[in-house]
Amino acid sequence: MINLLDFDRDGLTRWCVEQGEKPFRATQLFRWIHQRGVADFERMTDLAKSLRHKLEGRAWVAPLSVISEQVSRDGTVKWLFDVGAGNAVETVFIPEDDRGTLCVSSQAGCAVACRFCSTGHQGFSRNLSTGEILAQLWHAEHQLRSRLGLPEGERAITNVVMMGMGEPLQNYAALVPALRAMLDDHGYGLSRRRVTVSTSGVVPMIERLMADCPVALAVSLHAPDDVLRDELVPINRKYPLHDLLAACKAYLVAAPRDFITFEYCMLDGVNDRPEQAQALLNLVRGKVACKFNLIPFNPFPASGLKRSPRERVVAFADVLQNGGIVTTIRKTRGDDIDAACGQLAGEVQDRTRVQVRLADRRPFPLQVQTETP
Ligand code: SAH
Ligand code: SF4
């Protein structure tokens, strides 16, 4: 059976034509599924009976089964979805006064293995399919709409951030059709500025995203130099800061926003000193138009790291701000249900033995050797 959530509209059109149907049928079908949340072909009343019958035998709209749903004191909702074979991924809805943001997962686990991230500590199992990425949005949007009693046509989710579990740019082939369905006026109709891909810095894929589907870009920086970034975000050893910043600058040519958002997770005694803020300023100023978003580290068991004290985060922000770079400090949302950044753990059957590799790591704070022997 074909899962119709696996297609963007072009893909669905090709499939419909292969089934002997007119291309416009795909648009009708796409609207039923994504705009109205309907999975039952019988309810798609403007489709010919013969087509509905054909669909019954060949295709379905595959939902993800919900293992649990938690609602935080602040209204944040977290779903845990079963993706089979002992893997589960998490999706978080963050309501704000003027918008509703859905934080979507792209992989079961993550192979990048960042030091401060609970997903990274779990290792990597597999990429999600386009259908599994879109099913998170499909479920959340239509469930929230009916729960909030929104009138027909009004959306619960106005922004999507690919900031859940996984590195979206290491699942590029599945990501792009999912992004296209989010942007499609016959799908979720989100503007490019309101769909954000967050990456640890997969440089070649940043370049491809620019050509294939430019949306807002957030880059997880976390360190002002390669020595520290190599430790915190291991993919830096492959794509160092110089290359990453060049890719960011190039991305701005096609980006829907005229800046890149740099995310920086504030780790006590590791990357939060004023001179590191200064080094960061020197690194980016005049080179790439950017804003900074400082994320207070959200601890999880076994990280061995601590959150920077509030004063240190504010002082760090001041250095950047005084240097002319707009800097915000991210509010922690949903921490009572472990839904905050970096706390998404789901359930991952690690196939990379990441725990073994992590055990070999040097302890923090990192002692950089400066003296000659
Ligand atoms: N893999 C992508 C997107 C998912 S992570 C990326 O790394 O950008 C989303 C954001 O949460 C990233 O900026 C990441 O650095 C941050 N993050 C990860 N673990 C965290 C933690 N424990 N506390 C705070 N932020 C964290
Ligand atoms: Fe993967 Fe992002 Fe976590 Fe790093 S921070 S391990 S890239 S999910």
pLDDT at position 352: 76
For residue 120, the ligand 2 atom closest to its alpha carbon is 6
Q: 151: which residues sit within 8 A by CB, 6+ positions away? A: none
**Ligand 2 contact, 119 CB (< 6 A):** yes
pLDDT at position 354: 64
CA of 303 to the centre of ligand 1 (A): 13
pLDDT at position 347: 78
**Ligand 2 contact, 88 CB (< 6 A):** no
Strand, coil or helix: 81: strand
**Ligand 1 contact, 305 CB (< 6 A):** no
Number of residues that make up the chain = 373
pLDDT at position 306: 95
The best mutation among 198, 244, 248 to test binding of ligand 1, ranked by most ligand atoms within 8 Å of the C-beta, falls on 198
CA of 215 to the centre of ligand 1 (A): 18
**Ligand 1 contact, 271 CB (< 6 A):** no
**Ligand 1 contact, 79 CB (< 6 A):** no
* Global confidence as pTM: 0.94
pLDDT tens sequence for the chain (373 residues) = 999 999 999 999 999 999 999 999 999 999 999 999 999 999 999 999 999 999 999 999 999 999 999 999 999 999 999 999 999 999 999 999 999 999 999 999 999 999 999 999 989 999 999 999 999 999 999 999 999 899 888 899 999 999 999 999 999 999 999 999 999 999 999 999 999 999 999 999 999 999 999 999 999 999 999 999 999 999 999 999 999 999 999 999 999 999 999 999 999 999 999 999 999 999 999 999 999 999 999 988 888 999 999 999 999 999 999 999 999 999 878 878 877 766 676 778 887 766 555 555 655 555 444 444 4
Q: How far apart are CA 373 and CA 358, in angstroms?
A: 28
Establish whether 341 is a catalytic residue: yes
For residue 79, the number of C-alpha atoms closer than 13 Å in the C-beta half-sphere is 21
CA of 117 to the centre of ligand 2 (A): 6
For residue 236, the number of C-alpha atoms closer than 13 Å in the C-beta half-sphere is 21
Establish whether 347 is a catalytic residue: no
CA of 330 to the centre of ligand 2 (A): 17
pLDDT at position 358: 59
pLDDT at position 268: 97
Domains and CATH numbers, the chain: 2-60 (1.10.150.530), 65-359 (3.20.20.70)
For residue 119, the ligand 2 atom closest to its alpha carbon is 3
CA of 175 to the centre of ligand 1 (A): 18
State the alpha helices, DSSP H only, in 1-103.
9-18, 23-30, 49-58
For residue 86, the number of C-alpha atoms closer than 13 Å in the C-beta half-sphere is 6
pLDDT at position 324: 97
CA of 300 to the centre of ligand 2 (A): 14
For residue 117, the ligand 1 atom closest to its alpha carbon is 19
Q: Which protein residue has the closest C-alpha to ligand 1 atom 1?
A: 167
Q: How far apart are CA 133 and CA 112, in angstroms?
A: 19
pLDDT at position 153: 80
Token couple for 14: 């090709």
**Ligand 1 contact, 342 CB (< 6 A):** yes
Nearest residue to 337 (alpha-carbon basis) of 5, 92, 58: 92
Under 8 Å between Cβ of 179 and 198: no
Question: What one-character-per-residue DSSP string does 248-298 give?
Answer: HHHHTTT-SSSSEEEEEEEBTTTT--HHHHHHHHHHHTTTS-EEEEEEE--
pLDDT at position 359: 54
Annotated active-site residue in 16, 21, 90, 110: 90
- Which CA distances in Å does 311 have to 114, 143, 275, 365? 25, 40, 15, 19
Under 8 Å between Cβ of 102 and 161: yes
pLDDT at position 338: 77
